[in-house]
Amino acid sequence: MDFNKVDEKSLSYSILFRYAKFIHDKIFYKKVVYVGQENIPKDKPVLIAPNHQNALMDALAIIFSSKRITVFLARSDIFQSPMVAKILLFLRILPVYRIRDGKEKLKLNDVIYNKTIDILEKNKTLSIFPEATHNEIMHLRAFKKGVQRVTLMTQDKHDNKIDVKIIPTGIFYSNYFNFRSVLHVYYGKPISVSEYYDRYKEHEAKAMVALGNEMFSRILDLAIDVRDDKNFDVYKALMYVGLPDRNEKISEEEKFISYKKTIKTVENISTEKPEMFEVLAEKTRKYTKILSSFNLRDWVLRKKIGLPQKLAKMLLLIVASPVFVFGFISNILPYIVPSFITKGIKDKQFYSSVRYGIGIMLFPIYYILFFVIAGAISGFWLYSLLYVISLPIFGMLAFAYHRFFVKFMAQIRFCLNYNKPKIKELLTLRQEIVEMLK
């Protein structure tokens, strides 16, 4: 593999970038929240250090939000296929080899590290995941030394006359797997690697540990982090219970702040009042079990809806049903293919990466074929073009209709079962949990 041109500009990359970013920011995700982009210097060597939860989607989150050409390091096992390796290199992603890849391959890391230093020397942007692995549990794992090694080696090569900046970064997803979820990316204030140079000259290992500790602390402030893996299900459920009433308007950024606040509250209860935490955990698990038995989510209990709203929603669903049918039938094939392929993938964290990657290639091919076939059969090429242009629009409307229908049915189920003892118990449990969180 030729790594020499990985950081160079190219017309083909620029075209693909704009197309892929549009699909990523406007189609694949319902909303993207990019905060702190002004913290990324424009004229300094930069290394972006984000937490790692969602395979290649984490890399794309940085690529499309950082406003700088960014080269990534990723584990080498995803480069096994020659075709995939070419695509990843085109996307400016370089492999890092581990001991499990074989001792003979570890030597290739010298070439990679030299290239990363070269990138920083050109005042360009590099990104490395300090954890070096991903996990669906929102928990910041112990850092490897890749970030510290690359940045301190660059400082040392230039006798501390270069000013490498590390940008601590937090990434959060409202849902790892669902289409049209919400993505958050938070860039923190830069860390000046030069401040650790003297310690590095005195004792390399201690300097790396100190720099790693500061990165960890800074990223912790920017990410959702649950330290208690054993009770992760409890923390995750309480994140949503702790949100304000759904009738209150709240931004996605405010939701993120609320999640962190709730996690901190639960951590304090766990530490200072362990007996109370056991009661809280028991009530929360019972609450989620009853919710699941009725196929409900917490938001249904937070969202108050009256009869006029129910009737209006029902009328809208009836009137818009032809739009759903047309959009669904016209787009079902390219939509289900990525979902079908992901069933064979063991690591669930690659689901959204595969769906996104296949989707941005498959949908255009499908629409082009549709245009050619429709034009050839009808002979009206202009009308065929307009028809094909309408397909993705109706596809998005069909998906929105489906989500609207699912949520409406959840509200109807709640209303139909409202007088059942279990629903009364559910409401009582939620009120008790909210009071405990206060």
The half-sphere exposure of 264 on its side-chain side, counting CA atoms within 13 A, is 9
**Is there a single domain that holds both residue 212 and residue 269?**
no
Domain that holds residue 399: 307-416
**Is there a single domain that holds both residue 118 and residue 245?**
no
The mean pLDDT value for 351-365 works out to 93
**Dihedral sign for Cα atoms in the order 237, 242, 244, 250:** negative
**Is there a single domain that holds both residue 194 and residue 262?**
no
pLDDT of residue 285: 98
**Is there a single domain that holds both residue 234 and residue 212?**
no
138: tokens are: 């929102």
**Is there a single domain that holds both residue 252 and residue 170?**
no
pLDDT tens digits, residue range 49-74?
999 999 999 999 999 999 898 999 88
Closest CA to 303 of 350, 240, 359, 257: 240
**Is there a single domain that holds both residue 36 and residue 125?**
yes
- Beta partners for residue 126, in sequence order: 47, 71
Chain Cα centroid distance, residue 236: 16
pLDDT grade for 427, boundaries at 50, 70 and 90: very high
Among residues 272, 294, 316, which one ends one of the domains?
Answer: 294
The half-sphere exposure of 426 on its side-chain side, counting CA atoms within 13 A, is 23
pLDDT grade for 437, boundaries at 50, 70 and 90: very high
pLDDT of residue 2: 66
**Is there a single domain that holds both residue 244 and residue 351?**
no
pLDDT grade for 107, boundaries at 50, 70 and 90: confident
Alpha-carbon gap, residue 66 to 203, rounded angstroms: 33
pLDDT of residue 125: 95
Alpha-carbon gap, residue 117 to 271, rounded angstroms: 43
**Is there a single domain that holds both residue 180 and residue 238?**
no
Alpha-carbon gap, residue 168 to 222, rounded angstroms: 8
Among residues 244, 269, 294, which one ends one of the domains?
Answer: 294
pLDDT grade for 190, boundaries at 50, 70 and 90: very high
Residue in the structure block whose two tokens are 């702790």: 242
Per DSSP, the residues of 199-232 read HHHH-HHHHHHHHHHHHHHHHHTTS-----GGGH
Residue at 259 is within a domain: yes
Among residues 179, 200, 220, which one ends one of the domains?
Answer: 220
Closest CA to 143 of 128, 157, 154: 128
**Is there a single domain that holds both residue 327 and residue 391?**
yes
- Beta partners for residue 186, in sequence order: 35, 170
Residue at 150 is within a domain: yes
pLDDT of residue 1: 61
**Is there a single domain that holds both residue 341 and residue 251?**
no
Q: Is the pLDDT of residue 13 over 70?
A: yes
Residue at 75 is within a domain: yes
In Å, how far are 117, 208, 414 from 96, measured between CA atoms?
14, 19, 51
Number of folded domains that form the chain: 3
Residue at 241 is within a domain: yes
Residue at 142 is within a domain: yes
171: tokens are: 């990434």
Residue at 1 is within a domain: no
Q: What percent of the chain has pLDDT over 70?
A: 98
Q: Is the pLDDT of residue 224 over 90?
A: yes
SS (HEC) of 396-415: HHHHHHHHHHHHHHHHHHHH
pLDDT tens digits, residue range 322-339?
999 999 999 998 888 988
Residue at 437 is within a domain: no
pLDDT of residue 303: 79
**Is there a single domain that holds both residue 279 and residue 393?**
no
Give the global pTM: 0.93
**Is there a single domain that holds both residue 41 and residue 185?**
yes
pLDDT of residue 247: 59
Residue at 90 is within a domain: yes
